[in-house]
Amino acid sequence: MTFRIVPAGDSAVIVEFDARIDAGVNAQVIAVAEALQAASLGGVRDVVPTYRSVAIYFDPLRTDSDALAALIEREAARFHLAPAAARAPVRIPVCYGGEFGPDLPDVAAFAHMQDADVIRIHSAKAYRVFMLGFVPGFAYMGVVDDVIAMPRHATPRVRVPAGSVGIAGVQTGVYPTETPGGWRLIGRTPVRPFDPARAEPFLLKAGDTVEFYPVAREDYDRLRGGGA
Amino acid sequence: MSEGAGSAALVVIKPGMLTTIQDLGRWGYQAEGVPVAGPMDPCAHRLANALVGNAWGAATLEITFIGPELEFEDERIVAVVGASFDITVDGRLVPANAPFMVAAGSRLRVGQRRRGARAYLAVRGGLDVPIVLGSRATHLVSAMGGLNGRPLRAGDRVPLGPPDGARRTAAALADPWPLPERPARIRVLPGPQVEAFTADALDTLQSAPYVIGQNSDRMGFRLEGPRLQHSRGADIISDATPLGVLQVPASGQPILLMADRQTAGGYPKIATVISADIAVAGQLAPGDAIAFTVCTRLEAMAALIAQERALMAIEAAQS
């Protein structure tokens, strides 16, 4: 495991791994983040894994970046990768196209194929949740097949409805709440990735595996009405 | 969570320009993409609570530029710290930076602003809105916390916690809490991605003040000033975004990330504001200028310890 520790101001350090989007790098990131979270170190406020780094936020009056860096270095030998498939894959139903997926025809044109082929390719793969960010519960997933990996809109939409499923290059994701957004929208899921009223507010966490599967509009309505 | 019948409340007569409920922020959920939020000026928030005998983490009102008018359902001790406003209770001027009593049925008005951008209004007992993921802080973009995740509106009832508590109120501040100079002097530490910029970029950052652009809010300040040059492109793989970090998109014009920042972002970050100067930044608004200075970690810590001592001396007036 190779990393470097970089201070970010006086109250955060960043543990940086290889700067690439890669499942192996991300697995190291998550292993380190989980070890640090489990250690509940004094003065640490938050441990935040991303694609390729872990940020450790701390109270600078209680600890400092040197102490944390020394601790991370010392513990590094004990970090080990989480066993594969620690959590079962999360299956997410998607009603593709139509009013729910206004960009599906554009993605099909980008890929020189039919809408149905885009749906087949998007739902054929298991995706890794690399990180969460942007808004509560938004999971950055990949890696999308290059053929349908259309870049995001140059100008984001002002409003993207909650549940929208989008593509941005090799990333895919579900909008948990209505927000502005630039991803290519290909469908919508009745599932809510974030619901503060649920016992488990967040559907996904970094390191999870996600599989999308197509459902008809009636199934979407039924699942949405069923309080999913 | 005592919203409803029985508990006393503040009734919002006029909401002001942007009045939100804030506490120390929603720490511990950034891994799930949940922004921290919290007060833009954490020192003023803390002192307002100290003056009314609340714990540091009690929820206060963050008042921005144009203050609210509030009616009290029961008698409460109140304090306002931060930006300087003319404050009246039933038309009579009351002091800022000191605790004062508001009688049941009285109207408190935060009126003409003199200096600074944000004031914190603390009420003994705290603002008792529901706790969401460990915090009462309002995050506007994700519509979370506070009162239904939004700024106050006319007609809102903001429930208050029980006013009884062991702590005494603190004495009035001997001096008003300092507000920024013009331009505001803000110290930064280089990094975390200073190597993504040309060798002279830190000198450029310090060469002239940056002006806060109109399109600035609780998420961040878009700064206009000397252009910072990237050494190898303006896109990085998304990475954590600490409070006070200066991220720089392709335009070379930095964005200072503040309380409502997202948890991660994809632009290189040249430098980070030191903790002791976050409160200075929190009192700024569009049109204000910032003169950045690079400092050392030792200076950053000395400044933070000095600030903490000053805050603790005021809090020590409580028992």
Domain ranges of chain A: 4-76, 90-225
Chain A contact present for B129, CB below 8 A: no
B18: contact with A, CB 8 A cutoff: no
pLDDT at position A82: 54
Local confidence band at A39 (pLDDT 50, 70, 90 cut-offs): confident
- Residues in chain B with pLDDT values less than 50: 1-5, 319
Q: What is the pTM of this model?
A: 0.93
Q: What is the pLDDT of residues A94-122, one digit of tens each?
A: 999 999 999 999 999 999 999 999 999 99
Report the Cα B85 to chain-centroid distance in Å: 16
**Contact of A186 with A97, CB cutoff 8 Å:** yes
| Alpha carbon distance A141, B151 (integer Å) | 33
Q: Which residue of B has its CA nearest to A5?
A: B192
Q: How far is CA B82 from CA A169, B97, B98, B156, B210, in A?
A: 45, 8, 11, 24, 23
pLDDT mean across residues, chain A? 92
Dist CA A208 CA B239 (whole Å): 19
Nearest to A10 among B34, B239, B301 (CB): B301
Contact in structure between B26 and B252 (CB atoms under 8 Å) = no
Answer yes or no: do A48 and B28 touch at CB < 8 A.
Answer: no
Residue A125 CA: distances (Å) to CA of A141, A142, A209, B11, B16: 11, 9, 10, 53, 51
Burial A147-175 (b: 16+ CB within 10 A, else e): ebbbebbeeebeebeebbbbbbbebbbbb
Kindly report the CATH class assigned to B184-315: mainly beta
For domain A90-225, say whether CATH 2.40.100.10 is its number.
yes
pLDDT greater than 60 at residue A75: yes
Distance from CA of A101 to the nearest CA of B (A): 23
Asked whether residue A227 carries a pLDDT value surpassing 60, the answer given is: no
State how far residue A19 is from chain B, nearest Cα, in angstroms: 7
Using DSSP bridges, classify how beta strands B76-89 and B107-123 pair: parallel, antiparallel or unpaired.
Answer: antiparallel
Using an 8 Å CB-CB cutoff, list chain B residues near A140: 238
Ranges of each domain in chain B? 9-159, 184-315
Q: Measured between CB atoms, which of A6, A12, A137 is closest to B33?
A: A137
A4-76: CATH number: 3.30.1360.40
Structure tokens, B38: 């919290």
Q: Do B132 and A53 touch (CB under 8 A)?
A: no
| pLDDT for A15 | 95
CB contact under 8 A, A11 and B143: no
d(CA B123, CA B136): 15
Contacts of A6 in chain B (CB under 8 A): 191-193
Q: Does B269 touch chain A (CB under 8 A)?
A: yes
Structure tokens at A148: 């349908």
Position B2 scores a pLDDT of: 41
Put simply, whether B179 touches A (Cβ < 8 Å) is no
Q: Report the pLDDT averaged over residues A192-217.
A: 95
Contact state of A137 with B141 under an 8 Å Cβ cutoff: no
CB A157 within 8 A of CB A180: yes
Instruction: Give the three-class secondary structure for B139.
Output: strand
Per-residue pLDDT at B85: 96
Q: Is the pLDDT of residue A206 over 70?
A: yes
**Model confidence pLDDT, tens digit, residues A128-178:** 999 999 899 999 999 999 999 999 988 889 999 999 999 999 999 999 999
Q: What is the pLDDT of residues A41-73, one digit of tens each?
A: 889 999 999 999 999 999 999 998 888 998 888
Q: What pLDDT does B316 receive? A: 84
CB contact B246 to A (< 8 Å): no
Q: Is residue A39 within 8 Å of residue A74, measured between CB atoms?
A: no
What is the reported pLDDT for B9? 96
Interface confidence (ipTM) of the complex: 0.94
Smallest Cα distance from A39 to chain B, Å? 14
Please report which residue ranges of A161-216 form alpha helices under DSSP H.
none
Residue A77, pLDDT > 80, answer no
Quick one: pLDDT at residue B139? Answer: 97
